[in-house]
Each structure stands twice: as structure tokens, then as C-alpha cells.
A = this chain, B = another copy of it.
Amino acid sequence: MVNQFDWQKGFGIDFDFSSGMSPQAETTRRYLSQMKGMYLEEEVRAEMCREKDPLVYEFYELGVPECGGDLAFGTTIVYPGKVNNEFYMTKGHFHTILDTAEVYWGLQGTGYMLMENMDGDVQIQLIEPGRAVYVPKGYAHRSINSGDTPLVMFFVFRGDAGHNYGTIEVKGYRKICLEENGKPVFVDNPRWK
């Protein structure tokens, strides 16, 4: 995208608290067709894409310089929905510079930040309006919408952190978030067996 923002002299950009959208920038969109192999029920996912390819999430990439002194920021919006009984979520990622943290701040909706490090330690934090979640250094992180309205978050991370999908695109995270009896539960991901 064209970089319309001045990272050297500063700038302002507006985000709507309710929708998370900005009138001054375009989002990057992830449709269900782009999430092959991310859900337990791959056949259900593929079938859903054939009917109508739903938008799962979108987020802003404002063109931050890949520099350790700069900060990438923007909003992420995860839409409500499920593949079978598995909630819509972001792909999530490790940072390429592994030991860099990320701050999320919940604006609208309800969900979870699912985090795991290379040693297999899993951390789960509730996301809701007003609640900031600290994603520590070394943890892959995925946001999950467990509600029935859009999950809107503000995020900030280091400009040079980068995204590394690592094992995530091969077998996912160690835990998955399912709806059981109308409530979100985290269970072991069978693909990690």
C-alpha cells in the first residue's frame, strides 16, 4: 500500500470505537478461504467457503518502518461466527524477532487471547471492552471471538517485530476454543497429538 503517513514527523489517524474502522486507511482482510487448515473441521470450512466466503477478520497495516524504534499500531476486528463449533479467530503469529511483546486493548465485543510459547506454555486472557492484554515476549498469539458481536481491539507492537507463522500453519495451536453448551471452552487440539 502507499504509505500516506509520516513516521518521521508524526501523524494522527482516527478509529471508530464501535466498528474499529478508520476513514483514512484500508484494512487487510482475511476471508475464510484464506484459512485453510486452521480449523479442526477442514471440510466444514471448505464447504462454507463454497457457499459464500465469509470475512473472518480484518486489521490495519499502516506501513510502519521495519525499525526497532518505531511502533506498528492499529485495530483488528474479528467477526462473530464459527466453523462447526469452533469460534472465528485470527491466524495469529510468533514475532520474527521472537522476544518482542504486543499490547492489545479491547474496545468492543468479547473473546480471548490465546498465547503459547515455543516450550508449549499456554496462556489465555479474556478480552473485553476496556481490558488491555499484555502478550509477552516469545508467545505466539491468536485472538478469538467467542461472542455474537464483532471483537474490536487496538494493538501496538515494535516496528521490526515481523510475523512468523511457524508451526501455526501446519498444525495450529496446542489449544482450540469451541462452543459447548453455549459456552466457550478450551480443549486440547487433536492435531497436536
Contacts and interface: CB of A to CB of B under 8 A. Distances in A.
Given A154-B154, A156-B103, A10 B71 contact: no
Nearest to A156: B156
A32 to B, nearest CB: 28
A31 interface: no
Contacts of A101: 7, 69-71, 159
Chain A contact-residue range equals 35 or more
Interface of A: 5-17, 67-71, 73, 97, 99-103, 105, 113, 115, 121, 123, 125-127, 129-137, 139, 154, 156-159
Identical chains bound together, number: 2
**What are the 6 A-B residue pairs with the smallest beta carbon separation, nearest first?**
A156-B156, A69-B99, A69-B137, A10-B136, A69-B100, A12-B125
Given A11-B125, A125-B12, A156-B103, A5 B71 contact: no
Contacts of A139: 10
A162 B12 CA distance: 23
Contacts of A158: 69, 71, 158
